[in-house]
């Protein structure tokens, strides 16, 4: 029985299930996952991870990737079993049939999104100050959140092209850092001893790594969004787990290489003390490009990256609230969105179709 | 309305951080909010892994992907250990966690006592309304 197009939790497309083409291949899904995981957590938190562990902080990212990937396996199992039930709240509800627990999970998802947006906005403010230091940081961060709320309202977030472009910019920034690392090593300047240096201030290295992992974890989240496209994936039972794990490991490798580059090229204390730590790698002036220009360019890249991830958080918030309103767990005024809006339980059929189309056009 | 509320909550968090710093309680807003995010996320992930284990044996066929059980148990342990350490290392983060949870609870209370019913009849809270249950 075909479902209404405005049904809250409907995971079927506007034309019924038979019209949902399975168009997403394993390779497409791999890049989708990679784009989702490679968020701006690394732009914003890398200094803190360095401060927690010392020069060996790449280990924190490696451990964080491993724990997150194991969680990804659980998502892969649930997604392939219940492709229409995407989302932690619905899995928990299915498993435990406990209303307070389901409500708690939903509030946790919403709260995580609020806190993440706040952290990212503050990071945005730090990179913004590198380009224009005049406005007070608080004003910049508040304005950033308000502008994103307006962008979300206008509906620009539905543009898959904009999303993809910002993801490319995000990855380009990390590639620049890795290139700097390669050049630095090739110049023979790298002191690899840094990579096993634990500056923990007397604490055991194990605790230092755990502290770093907890922060690095922030950079690994986002993979759960891939559950949205399970229905459009070709042969999901085989493709989805491989693409999900592959994408997360690839993201993890990139993070580890970026962390190693930062550790080799910049003193750990400088990274830890900086509000825009990844920029310190650029300021080290290793590439034969004017540092001033590179700094501003990279700050802009970082701001685009942070905007991309924060936009996802902002969209997530409104969708969760919408869903909660429809379920009568928050005031109904949050459910008043115009009929073209999709389910907040991360189900958005037009987006995956467009991803498929855009990638196919690009080939 | 929902976007105004969401933006207001995030701005509230930012203003709270600024106010604390102005009052001399030096906090690193990026780190504190990242810690709060991670606390919630680790809890969610641990429960999702538990849900996967609980749903073993249900709705499975020959094609179903099943993750390695020892790995999943390791995942729960990893998430819980990280969660425990994060709270041990930054206990004040729990204040922020509690404030956000309280906000969610407040919305529920408001809806429970003053709201109108939007949920489709015949379905309880939290149950999906899709007609295409696997």
Q: Tell me what the mean pLDDT of segment A150-175 comes to.
A: 79
pLDDT of residue A130: 86
Enumerate residues 6+ apart whose C-beta is below 8 A from A5.
Answer: A14
Give the A window 245-304 contacts with B, CB below 8 Å: 275
Distances (CA, A) of A161 to A31, A243, A355, B49: 14, 22, 8, 33
| DSSP β-bridge partners for residue A24 | A233
Q: Which of A305-319, A336-350, B117-131 has the lowest mean pLDDT?
A: A336-350
Q: What is the pTM of this model?
A: 0.82
pLDDT of residue A70: 92
Dump pLDDT digits (tens) for A92-111: 988 998 888 988 999 999 99
Phi and psi, residue A24, nearest 5°:
-95, 115
Distances (CA, A) of A70 to A130, A248, A279, B46, B52: 38, 10, 31, 11, 12
Our CA-based measurement puts residue A255 at a distance from the nearest CA of chain B, in whole angstroms, of: 17
Residue pair A23/A349 in contact by the 8 Å Cβ criterion: no
Could you tell me which of A8, A310, A254 has the C-alpha nearest to residue A140? A310
Helix (H) or strand (E) holding A84: none
Query: Do the Cβ atoms of B85 and A333 come within 8 Å?
Result: no
Whether the predicted pLDDT of A304 surpasses 60: yes
CB atoms within 10 A of CB A133: 9
Query: Is any Cβ of chain B less than 8 angstroms from the Cβ of A77?
Result: yes
Name the residue of chain B whose CA is nearest to A91's CA.
B51
What whole-number distance in Å separates Cα of residue A175 and Cα of residue A172?
5
Q: Tell me what the mean pLDDT of segment A120-124 comes to.
A: 91
pLDDT of residue A12: 42
Whether the predicted pLDDT of A294 surpasses 50: yes
CB atoms within 10 A of CB A356: 21
Give the B window 38-77 contacts with A, CB below 8 Å: 38, 40-45, 47-52, 54-55, 58-60, 63-68, 71-72, 74-75
pLDDT of residue A176: 92
Q: How confident is the prediction along chain B (134 residues), in pLDDT tens digits per residue?
A: 777 888 888 888 888 888 888 887 778 888 889 889 999 999 999 999 999 999 998 888 777 888 889 999 999 999 999 999 888 888 888 999 999 999 988 888 887 777 666 555 555 554 555 443 33
Whether the ipTM is more than 0.90: the answer is no
Share of chain A above pLDDT 70, in %: 81
Our CA-based measurement puts residue A214 at a distance from the nearest CA of chain B, in whole angstroms, of: 6
pLDDT of residue A142: 92
């Amino acid at each position: 029985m075909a479902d209404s197009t405005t049904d809250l939790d409907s995971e079927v497309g506007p034309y019924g299930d038979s019209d949902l083409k399975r168009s997403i291949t394993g390779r497409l899904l791999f890049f989708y996952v990679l784009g989702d995981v490679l968020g701006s957590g690394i732009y914003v938190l890398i200094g803190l991870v360095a401060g927690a562990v010392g020069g060996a902080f790449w280990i924190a990212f490696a451990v964080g990737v491993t724990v997150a990937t194991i969680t990804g396996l659980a998502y892969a199992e649930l997604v392939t079993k219940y492709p229409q039930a995407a989302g932690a709240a619905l899995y928990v509800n299915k498993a435990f049939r406990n209303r307070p627990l389901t409500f708690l999970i939903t509030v946790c998802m919403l709260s995580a999104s609020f806190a993440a947006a706040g952290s990212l906005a503050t990071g945005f403010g730090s990179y913004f100050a590198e380009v224009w230091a005049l406005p007070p940081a608080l004003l910049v961060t508040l304005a950033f959140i308000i502008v994103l709320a307006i962008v979300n309202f206008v509906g620009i977030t539905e543009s898959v092209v904009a999303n993809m472009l910002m993801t490319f910019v995000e990855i380009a920034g990390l590639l620049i850092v890795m290139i700097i690392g390669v050049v630095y090593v090739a110049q023979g300047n790298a002191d690899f001893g840094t990579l096993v240096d634990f500056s923990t201030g007397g604490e055991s290295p194990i605790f230092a790594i755990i502290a770093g992992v907890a922060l690095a974890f922030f950079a690994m989240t986002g993979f759960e969004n891939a559950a949205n496209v399970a229905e459009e994936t070709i042969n999901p039972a085989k493709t989805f787990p491989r693409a999900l794990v592959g994408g997360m490991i690839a993201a993890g490798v990139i993070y580890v290489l970026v962390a190693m580059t930062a550790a080799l090229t910049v003193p750990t204390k400088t990274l830890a003390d900086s509000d825009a730590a990844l920029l310190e790698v650029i300021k080290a002036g290793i590439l034969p490009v004017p540092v001033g220009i590179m700094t501003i360019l990279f700050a802009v890249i970082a701001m685009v990256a942070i905007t991309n991830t924060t936009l996802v958080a902002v969209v997530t918030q409104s969708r969760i609230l919408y869903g909660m309103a429809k379920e009568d767990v928050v005031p109904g005024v949050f459910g008043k969105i115009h009929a073209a809006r999709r389910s907040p339980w991360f189900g958005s059929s037009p987006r995956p179709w467009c991803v498929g189309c855009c990638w196919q056009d690009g080939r | 309305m929902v976007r105004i509320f969401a933006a207001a909550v995030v701005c509230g968090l930012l203003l709270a951080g600024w106010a604390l710093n102005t009052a001399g309680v030096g906090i690193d807003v990026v780190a504190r909010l990242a810690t709060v995010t991670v606390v919630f996320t680790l809890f969610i992930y641990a429960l999702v892994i538990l849900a996967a284990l609980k749903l073993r044996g249900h709705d499975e066929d020959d094609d179903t992907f099943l993750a390695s059980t020892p790995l999943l148990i390791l995942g729960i342990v990893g998430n819980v250990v990280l969660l425990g350490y994060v709270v041990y290392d930054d206990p004040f983060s729990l204040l922020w966690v509690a404030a956000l949870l309280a906000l969610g609870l407040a919305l529920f209370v408001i809806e429970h006592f003053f709201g109108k019913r939007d949920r489709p009849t015949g379905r309880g809270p939290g149950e999906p309304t899709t007609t295409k249950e696997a």
